[in-house]
Amino acid sequence: MGEVTPFRNAAVERVFAQYPDAVRAEMLALRELVFRTAAETPEVGALEETLKWGEPAYVTSATRSGSTVRMDWKPRHPRQLALYFNCKTDLVETFRTLFPRDFAFEGNRAIVLPAGKRIPNDSVAFCIAASLTYHLRKKTAAPARA
């Protein structure tokens, strides 16, 4: 899998340790994709890794450039992984338009990936970058005030 970003949050590390082995490898790969995408997107800055609703979450605390990205695997849906986005944004609707065949979707809050299958890294990285820069794009899209 390559180099692994060290955990700085013991609670997050415990969540990853509880995943079944095969799922853990996939979730760690998604985690690395989040960190790599953030590093390749200069506006994002350092990420904070934390838990939100008991799920690993990635927050742009330093720059406040974007919206949180969460991820999880749930035993009741053992054949899928999910990346969650703020449901009060248009992010998932945008992803649904851009990538109708790359993912399944859960309402306006998540993209769903099949466990055990190849992850479309480029598409997923686009979605991660869009979330982590969401507030920057909203500011530049806001109409000028007279």
As a 3-state breakdown, the chain gives helix, strand, coil percent values, each rounded to 5, of 40, 20, 40
Is 69 a member of any domain? yes
pTM of the complete model: 0.91
Does the structure show a pLDDT above 70 at 62? yes
Total number of domains constituting the chain: 1
Q: Pull the structure tokens for residue 74.
A: 């749930």
> What pLDDT, in 10s, does the model give residues 20-61?
999 999 999 999 999 999 999 999 999 999 999 999 999 999
Is 121 a member of any domain? yes
Is 10 a member of any domain? no
Is 90 a member of any domain? yes
Q: Pull the structure tokens for residue 141.
A: 């899209």
Beta bridge partners of 49: 58
Is 1 a member of any domain? no
Nearest residue to 58 via CA among 30, 80, 98: 30
Does the structure show a pLDDT above 60 at 143? no
CA distance 138 to 87: 15
Write down the pLDDT at residue 145. Answer: 46
Domain assignment of residue 91, given as a range:
16-137
Is 88 a member of any domain? yes
Write down the pLDDT at residue 146. Answer: 43
Is 6 a member of any domain? no
